[in-house]
Structure 1
């Protein structure tokens, strides 16, 4: 946890040292550092607090029941409905788990949405194994442009979103 905030704390300490130096000795350089680091820290804080707050995700699958060994097409749409703050980068991790909670299938996308409010993409789960895949979640990871703070949000899908892979019929072997 602390490792995630270490760069932010380092810049905050540098800002505090620059402020103390500016108050004690004055001059242009410490006040320039106070101003520029203050803007940088406020941008990182706003980005961390406001970016992933009101994100919604919709997942559609081509079929809810398939035969083991076949593929399933998945369509993911992520929408930002909150504050219009540009998102410099966003990692979308789509995870399917089996009934025991083990992560079985995973699709990760790195996108650079900027001011775009909607991100759509499709992927296929090929050669699906037999079983019930009903625990689905989308993990969103974003951060500021300089990598000081990272925001993580997990969106769980409703329980009715599941894929059932039935065994292959004997006559088709």
Structure 2
């Protein structure tokens, strides 16, 4: 495809005719030298006009298709030119999603391949934001020496990229139960199983030891059942992520990114220490991942968290009340929300009244707590609900209830 098609071609043909006529009538070495010197230029230009970039192929390669937010992605464009005619310049435009385009100096690149038949160019996308991305088109543009002929070509080259939320390493997490501490050892758990009472059975999950199988319960059911010990009940953690748009004001608010990052970090810690972990995430489509402890559960949670937005219209309190009744006995319901008001206090107090274990992560950000919020913190402290205040994206690696309790005693004046 040529642009503009008629003027460039007309100019080339006129110049070719003019140099030929000049040599024919003038004669001599100089006049014919001008004609023969211009002849290859005209030939290459006419070839570009009629064939353009029809035979040129381009392939996009990325060094990884799964990343973590904040990482860099290297993108390589491999170009192959089947013709031996030179490309004086080549402009490559990679049509990236808007959020990625803003984080790279490209993706419009200019190279001068000349007679190279195969070459590559590379650019980087820095500080990847969380999300799922797809880009499809590549645009190539070239022309001749004098700009008389320009050719463009669009290549459909699909690419998908999934960016998981950023997570932090948590050394320990204790909210009144030391079994959530990072100091727990497998031997200690095994010893406690030997002395603990069996209070029930649950479905077998990959990774459960053979000694835990409840053979009597398995014989009465269609599948294998695993013993549930008295101490084991506290190993289950269900994360409740507040995705209510009204709580953040914006689907991509920084506080929501903090909440998603915290959820990923807590899930990673729980599963790393062999606790069962699940996720309740109500948005435009309700998603519930039941508590499991196999390694694949972490990928399920991260996969979901890569896509989530604060787009829920359903009240977060109603979400909790709707799902908490389905939790296994003794599961700790962990709330992650930027809202700390009377309704949240009543919700957590109600869970405590029902003898359900609960913890609250308050995604406060850098602002100061209001006097009303201080009072709500004191009430939760009196009820016995562990509260963790998350003031920045870099939260402490040791999540300890005692550190939070110390701040409760400071009643605002």
- TM-score between the two structures when normalised by the length of structure 1: 0.72
Aligned partner of 2:90 in structure 1 is 90
Deviation at 1:157, TM superposition (A): 1.1
Question: Which secondary structure state, in structure 1, belongs to the residue aligned with residue 10 of structure 2?
Answer: helix
Are positions 1:119 and 2:119 aligned together? yes
- Which structure features the higher share of strand residues? 1
The correspondence for 2:26, drawn from 28, 50, 54, is: 28
Aligned partner of 1:69 in structure 2 is 70
Deviation at 1:152, TM superposition (A): 0.5
Q: How many residues align?
A: 161
Aligned partner of 1:53 in structure 2 is 54
Q: Distance in 2 between matches of 1:35 and 1:70?
A: 55
Residues 55/2 of structure 1: CA separation in 2 closer, same or farther (3 Å cut): closer
Deviation at 1:143, TM superposition (A): 1.1
Aligned partner of 1:163 in structure 2 is 161
Cα deviation, 1:116-152, whole Å, max 9, x if unaligned, reads 1111122210022233221232211111122110110
Aligned partner of 2:138 in structure 1 is 138
Cα deviation, 1:18-42, whole Å, max 9, x if unaligned, reads 49xx5xxx8328x868877666443
Question: Which secondary structure state, in structure 2, belongs to the residue aligned with residue 45 of structure 1?
Answer: helix
Cα deviation, 1:40-97, whole Å, max 9, x if unaligned, reads 44331112333522122222212212223321121221112x3321212111222223
Tell me if the contact between 1:95 and 1:104 (Cα under 8 Å) persists in the aligned partners.
no
Q: Distance in 1 between matches of 2:137 and 2:62?
A: 14
Question: Which secondary structure state, in structure 1, belongs to the residue aligned with residue 45 of structure 2?
Answer: helix
Deviation at 1:163, TM superposition (A): 0.8
Question: Which secondary structure state, in structure 2, belongs to the residue aligned with residue 70 of structure 1?
Answer: coil
Question: Which secondary structure state, in structure 2, belongs to the residue aligned with residue 83 of structure 1?
Answer: coil
Q: How does 1:94-109 map to 2 (within 5 A)?
A: 94-97=94-97, 104-105=100-101, 106-109=106-109
Residues 3/110 of structure 1: CA separation in 2 closer, same or farther (3 Å cut): same
- TM-score between the two structures when normalised by the length of structure 2: 0.34
Residues 75/148 of structure 1: CA separation in 2 closer, same or farther (3 Å cut): same
**Larger relative CO (CA 8 A, sep 6+): 1 or 2?**
1
Question: Which secondary structure state, in structure 1, belongs to the residue aligned with residue 114 of structure 2?
Answer: coil
Runs of 4+ in 1 over 4 A off after TM superposition: 1-5, 13-16, 31-40
Deviation at 1:2, TM superposition (A): 6.5
Q: Distance in 2 between matches of 1:55 and 1:5?
A: 23
Deviation at 1:7, TM superposition (A): 4.0
Residues 170/74 of structure 1: CA separation in 2 closer, same or farther (3 Å cut): same
Residues 38/86 of structure 1: CA separation in 2 closer, same or farther (3 Å cut): closer
- Which structure features the higher share of helix residues? 2
Q: After alignment, is 42-51 or 115-124 more displaced?
A: 42-51
| CA RMSD of superposed structures (Å) | 3.3
Residues 166/45 of structure 1: CA separation in 2 closer, same or farther (3 Å cut): same
Higher alpha-carbon Rg: 2
